[in-house]
Structure 1
Amino acid sequence: MAMTKRNGKNDTIILNTIEELVPQDHDVRMLDNCIDWSFIYPLVENLYSDVGRPSIDPVVLFKMIFINIIFGLGSMRKTCKEIQVNLAYRWFLGISMDEKVPNYSTWSQNYIRRYSNSEVFEKIFDQILKQAISYGFVDMETVYGDSTHQKANANKNKYTDEEVEIMKKIYENDLLDEINRDREEHGKKPIKKNEKEELNFDEETGKLKRDIQTKHIKISKTDSESGCFHKGEKEKCFAYSHQTFCDRNGFVLASVCVAGNVHDSVSFFSAYKVLNDKYMDQIKNVCLDAGYITPAICKTVLENGQKMYAPYKRPMTKKGYYKKYEYVYDEGYDCYLCPNNKVLSYSTTNKLGYKEYKSNPKDCENCPLRGRCTSSKNFQKVVTRHVWEEYREEVMDEIRHTPEWKEIYPRRKESIERVFADCKEHHTLRYTRLRGLQKNQHQSLMIFACYNLKRMSRWRWKSISKTAQNLIKSTILNYFKKKEKRYLFISTTLSTI
C-alpha cells in the first residue's frame, strides 16, 4: 500500500449541521436528554429587570458552569476557549458555529451583580436531585455522611496568630440543662449559663469585667475565612471542609461548607439539619465513621427515630493501662467497679457534661493492680461518664452487633468515599480558586449538582438503551413467532389434504 502524504491545510467548506457532527453517544447528549433545562428560568426571574437591553440567556451561563465542572476544565477562561472550538459544547449551549461565545468575565460579573446573594445554586442542586428521585435512582432509606477538605487558594506560610472567642456548640444549652438536672439529683448546685465567662476586677476602670474563653488560631492573610487544616499525615494547609451526605447509590443529598479547622463532629449538625429539613421522613439509617461517635451526635440521630451505624472505635488509653470498658458500670447504684472489685463512687458532674467517679485513695495505695490502673500522685483513680453516654452505648454495643450493620457499613466506601474521590479527581473538588466561605459553598453545591447530573444522565441513557434493545428483541421474537405460526398452519393444512 502506497504512503499518503497531505499537502498543506484542508480548506473544504463544511455543509453539515452541528446536530450531525456531534456523536450520538457523546456526554452532552446524555446531559441534555435527562433534564429539561428551562427549570432555571423561574429560579432567576426575580434577579433580572423587566426593562433595559437583553441579557445573555441565564441557561447558557449555567450550562457553561456545568461544562466547566463536569469536564474538569477548571477556569472559566479555559472553558470559553474550549467552547469556541468544541462543536459538542456549542450544541449543548445552543450556540451556532458563527455565533460569538460569551466572554469569561460575563459569568463573574453576573455572579457579583445577581447570583452571589441568592439561593439559586441551592435550588438548582435540589431540582437536579428531585429529577433523579423522579427516575427512581435515589434510595434514602440509608444515608452515608462524611467530610472532606478542599485546599484553599491561600499561601500556608502567610498568616497571623490571632486570639478568637470560642463559639458555642449548637447543643450546649440542652447539654447544660441535662447537666443541671443531674447535679440536682445528686444534691449539687446547678451551673449558671454564663459559666464560661469569668468575672475579674479591672483596676483601671474599677469595675468587674467578663473574660470570655478564647483560643489562638492561624488566620490566613490571603483568605481569612479558610481554616488551618492538619490531620494525620496530610499536608498542613489552609482549606475548606465539606460536610456531605449521600444515599447508597452515590447521589449527594446535602452539603455544607465550613472552614477547614472545624472538626467533623461540629460541622455535622448544620449539614444534618439541612438533610432532615428536606428528607427526614424517608431516612431510617445514618452511617458515619469513627470521628462522629460522640454522645451528642448519637443522641441527635437516635432521638430523630433513625439508627446510627458506626465502626468500632479503639479506646484512647495509654499502652499498658486498663481500658475503660474493663471498669464495670452499675446503673442501679450509679457507681463503677474496678478490676480489683473496688467501688468508684460518684463525685460530681463537670461543666463539660461528664460525671466523675473517684476511687478511695486508701484502696488504691496498696492495690497490686495500681501500676496498670492509675499513675496519679494522690493514689486516686477517676473514671468519667457522659450524661448522654447511654446513647453512645446503644450505637456501639447494640446496633454495631446487628446483622444490618454488616450489610450497611461496608457500603460506606462504595458510596460517600467514592463521591469524594470522583469529585476530587474529575470535578475540581481537590483545590479551589475562589476565596470566601459563601463562594465556596456555592461552588461545592454546583460540583455535587454536576456529579448527580452526570450520574443520573448515564443511568438514564443506559435505561433508555436497554428499553430500545428489549423493544428490538421483542419485535424480532414476535416476527419469528408469527412466522412459526404461519408455517404450522400451512403444514397442518397440507397434511389434511
Structure 2
Amino acid sequence: MIRRNCKNDTIILNTIEGLVPQDHEVRKLESCIDWSFIYPLVEHLYSDFGRPSIDPVVLFKMLFINIVFGIGSMRKTCKEIQVNLAYRWFLGISMDEQVPNYSTWSQNYIRRYGDSQVFEQIFDQILKQAIAYGFVDMETVFGDSTHQKANANKNKHIDEEVMIAKKIYEDELLDEINKDREKHGKKPLKANEKEELNYDEETGKLKKDVETKHIKVSKTDPESGCFHKGEKEKCFAYSHQTFCDKNGFVILSLCVPGNVHDSVSFFPAYQKLNDKYKDQIKNLCLDAGYITPAICKTIVENKQKMYAPYKRPMTKKGFFKKYEYVYDEEYDCYICPNIKILEYSITNKLGYKEYKSNPEDCKNCPFLNKCTQSRNHQKVITRHVWEEYREEVIDEIRHTPEWKELYPKRKESIERVFGDCKEHHNLRYTRLRGLQKNQHQALMIFACHNLKRMARWSWKTSSNSIIKRMFSIIFRIFKAREKRYSIWSTTLSTVWHCL
C-alpha cells in the first residue's frame, strides 16, 4: 500500500481570482447584478463625520452568503469567510485583510437598518432586475401562506382576553347587510363603536358587551402567534403571506403572527400587490382556504380571475348537500328536494341571509332524516350577501380550460418556493424575535431565492449564447464546403437549434 505524504507547508503562488472555479455559485451571483445599487439606498443612514465605516455592500453580501448557502448563524458565517476563498472573492476581501466581526452586522442593524425600508428596497431592486431579464411573468400570480416556527417556548405563555379585530371589509359588509335588511322590511344594524370606547375608563378592561376572545400570548416573543393546524405541531410561529409567478420568482411577502388566518392576512398583502403590479396581473391562483365571499368579491371587482380548487361541502354523511337545494334568484328563496319552499327569514350581522322551511311541511316529509335533525323539524339554509361572487369562482371559472391549465402549476410554483426556502434558506425556524425583524428576514430570504434563480438562469443563457455562436461559425464553414460534409452540416444545425 502506497501512503501519500501530505505537505501542509506548500507555498501557493496564485491569486484568489485564479483559485475560485469559474462555475462557482458566487461568480453567478456576482455576474447577474450590479451591487452598487445598495449605496444610494443606505446613504442617508450614514454620517459624514467620524471614522470610516465598513462598506455597506460588504455587510449585505455577508447576509446574502448567510442565507444563500444556508449557514444560518452570522457568527458561523464570519468563520466560514475567513477560510473560504470563494466568499472572500465575492466580498472583495484579500487574504491578508481582516473579516468584519459578526457583531458588526447586528450593531449596524440596531443603529441603522432596523427602522429603515432598505430590506424591502433591496428585495424590489432584485425583482426589478429579474423582470428586466425577462424571467418574471406577472400575468398569473400564485398565492399562499406558510408558517415559520418562532424563537419561543410553547409552554411559556399567558392567557389574554382581547377584542376581536375589525376586518378590513367590515364597513362595506355592514352597508350591504343593511341594504338587504331594508329591502326585506327589517331594521338596519347599528355600526360598532370605536375601539377606544370599548374599554372601561375606571378599570381599563373591556366592556361586557364587546366581542372578545381568549388567546395564548408568548412570554418570550409576544408578537408571535399560537399556530395550530391539522396534524402539525402546536407552537408559536409567524406566517408569511406570499405571492410568486409561474417561474417561482417571489413578487411580495408579508409577515403576520401565526394565529392570523390566511383569509384575513390576504387582504393587506393583496392591497400591496395591487398597488405595485395591478395593471400586469390578470389571474390569481389560490388554495381552498381563500374561498370566502369577501376575497372572491375583492378579486372579481378588480377585474381579475381567481382560480381555486373544488371545496367539498362540510355536510354530515347521509344528508343532502347544499347544492341539492335550488336557489330561485327571482323570488329569493330555496326549493328543497321535496319541492317545498324555504322562505327568507333575516340577514344576520355576519352577512348571511337565513332561509327557513315551514315545520308543518317538514313533519311528514319522506326526506326528513336526510334533511335536518332539528327538534322543531325546520330546515335552515344560509346564503351570503356576496354569494354570487363566490359562485362565479366555484361554478364558472373552475370549469374553464384555463383553470385546468393554470391551477396545477400552483404546486410547481408557490409550494416549491416554500419547500426550497425551508430546506436551503432557513425559513423553517427563526432565531429572531419581533414582527419587524422577521419581516426583514423573510424579505431577505425571498430576495436570495430570487437572486439565486436569476443568477443560474442568466448564467445558463449566457453560456448557451456563447456555444450557439461557436456552432453558428462552424455551421457556416461546413455549409461552404462540398456536399460530402452534408451529414455533419445537418447534425450541427440540429444541435444549434436545440441550444
Q: TM-score, normalised by structure 1?
A: 0.94
Aligned counterparts of 1:438 and 1:119: Cα–Cα separation in 2: 11
The aligned counterpart of 2:456 is 458
Aligned counterparts of 1:483 and 1:464: Cα–Cα separation in 2: 30
Indicate conservation of the 8 Å contact 1:150/1:431, yes or no: yes
Unmatched segments (≥5 aa) in structure 2: 486-499
Give yes or no for the alignment of 1:102 onto 2:103: no
The aligned counterpart of 1:408 is 406
Give yes or no for the alignment of 1:5 onto 2:37: no
Deviations 1:186-230 (A, max 9, x none): 111111112799x99x9x99xx96732110001111111111111
Indicate conservation of the 8 Å contact 1:183/1:348, yes or no: yes
Deviations 1:4-57 (A, max 9, x none): 4215x4212222010000000000000000000000000000101111111000
| Paired letter, 1:283 | I
The aligned counterpart of 2:378 is 380
Q: Which residues in structure 2 correspond to 1:452-491 (within 5 Å)? A: 452-484=450-482
Task: Name which of 246, 256, 260 aligns with 2:258.
Answer: 260
The aligned counterpart of 1:323 is 321
Per the alignment, do residues 310 and 270 of structure 1 end up closer, same or farther by CA in structure 2, a change over 3 Å counting?
same
The aligned counterpart of 1:490 is none
The aligned counterpart of 2:497 is none
Per the alignment, do residues 365 and 90 of structure 1 end up closer, same or farther by CA in structure 2, a change over 3 Å counting?
same
Aligned counterparts of 2:364 and 2:452: Cα–Cα separation in 1: 68
| Paired letter, 2:368 | R
145-154 or 468-477: bigger deviation:
468-477
Task: Name which of 303, 306, 318 aligns with 2:304.
Answer: 306
Q: Secondary structure at 1:212's aligned position in 2? A: coil
Q: Which residues in structure 2 correspond to 1:36-55 (within 5 Å)? A: 36-55=34-53
Q: Secondary structure at 1:240's aligned position in 2? A: strand
Q: Which residues in structure 2 correspond to 1:25-40 (within 5 Å)? A: 25-40=23-38
Task: Name which of 176, 179, 203 aligns with 1:178.
Answer: 176
Aligned counterparts of 2:58 and 2:454: Cα–Cα separation in 1: 21
The aligned counterpart of 1:56 is 54
Q: Secondary structure at 2:239's aligned position in 1? A: strand
Give yes or no for the alignment of 1:155 onto 2:158: no
Aligned counterparts of 2:13 and 2:48: Cα–Cα separation in 1: 39
Aligned counterparts of 2:280 and 2:61: Cα–Cα separation in 1: 31
Q: Which residues in structure 2 correspond to 1:211-226 (within 5 Å)? A: 211-226=209-224
| Paired letter, 1:305 | K
| Paired letter, 1:392 | R
Deviations 1:274-331 (A, max 9, x none): 1111110000000000000000000000000100000000001112211111111000
Indicate conservation of the 8 Å contact 1:196/1:212, yes or no: no
Q: Which residues in structure 2 correspond to 1:199-214 (within 5 Å)? A: 211-214=209-212
Per the alignment, do residues 209 and 143 of structure 1 end up closer, same or farther by CA in structure 2, a change over 3 Å counting?
closer
| Paired letter, 1:33 | S
Deviations 1:433-477 (A, max 9, x none): 000000000000000000000000000000001000001111222
| Paired letter, 2:139 | E
Deviations 1:66-113 (A, max 9, x none): 000000000100100000000000000000011000000000000000
Indicate conservation of the 8 Å contact 1:196/1:213, yes or no: no
The aligned counterpart of 1:69 is 67
Aligned Cα root-mean-square deviation (Å): 1.8
The aligned counterpart of 2:490 is none
| Paired letter, 1:128 | I
Aligned counterparts of 2:219 and 2:317: Cα–Cα separation in 1: 41
Q: TM-score, normalised by structure 2?
A: 0.93
| Paired letter, 1:75 | S
Aligned counterparts of 2:373 and 2:8: Cα–Cα separation in 1: 85
The aligned counterpart of 1:143 is 141
Q: Secondary structure at 2:241's aligned position in 1? A: strand
The aligned counterpart of 2:13 is 15
Question: Offset of 1:479 from its aligned partner?
Answer: 2.9
Question: Offset of 1:481 from its aligned partner?
Answer: 3.5
Indicate conservation of the 8 Å contact 1:34/1:456, yes or no: yes
Aligned counterparts of 1:31 and 1:272: Cα–Cα separation in 2: 30
The aligned counterpart of 1:495 is none
Task: Name which of 122, 125, 132 aligns with 2:123.
Answer: 125
| Paired letter, 1:428 | N
Indicate conservation of the 8 Å contact 1:295/1:386, yes or no: yes
Deviations 1:404-457 (A, max 9, x none): 000000000000000000000000000000000000000000000000000000
Aligned counterparts of 1:301 and 1:348: Cα–Cα separation in 2: 27
Give yes or no for the alignment of 1:277 onto 2:275: yes
Unmatched segments (≥5 aa) in structure 1: 488-497
Question: Offset of 1:482 from its aligned partner?
Answer: 4.3
Indicate conservation of the 8 Å contact 1:355/1:384, yes or no: yes
Q: Secondary structure at 2:143's aligned position in 1? A: strand
Per the alignment, do residues 210 and 4 of structure 1 end up closer, same or farther by CA in structure 2, a change over 3 Å counting?
closer
| Paired letter, 1:184 | E
The aligned counterpart of 2:426 is 428
The aligned counterpart of 1:367 is 365
Percent of aligned pairs with the same residue?
80
| Paired letter, 1:416 | I
| Paired letter, 1:472 | M
Indicate conservation of the 8 Å contact 1:244/1:254, yes or no: yes
| Paired letter, 2:37 | F
| Paired letter, 1:3 | I
The aligned counterpart of 1:334 is 332
Aligned counterparts of 1:10 and 1:312: Cα–Cα separation in 2: 65
Q: Secondary structure at 2:404's aligned position in 1? A: helix
Q: Which residues in structure 2 correspond to 1:388-407 (within 5 Å)? A: 388-407=386-405
Per the alignment, do residues 134 and 188 of structure 1 end up closer, same or farther by CA in structure 2, a change over 3 Å counting?
same
Question: Offset of 1:397 from its aligned partner?
Answer: 0.3
Aligned counterparts of 2:50 and 2:191: Cα–Cα separation in 1: 56
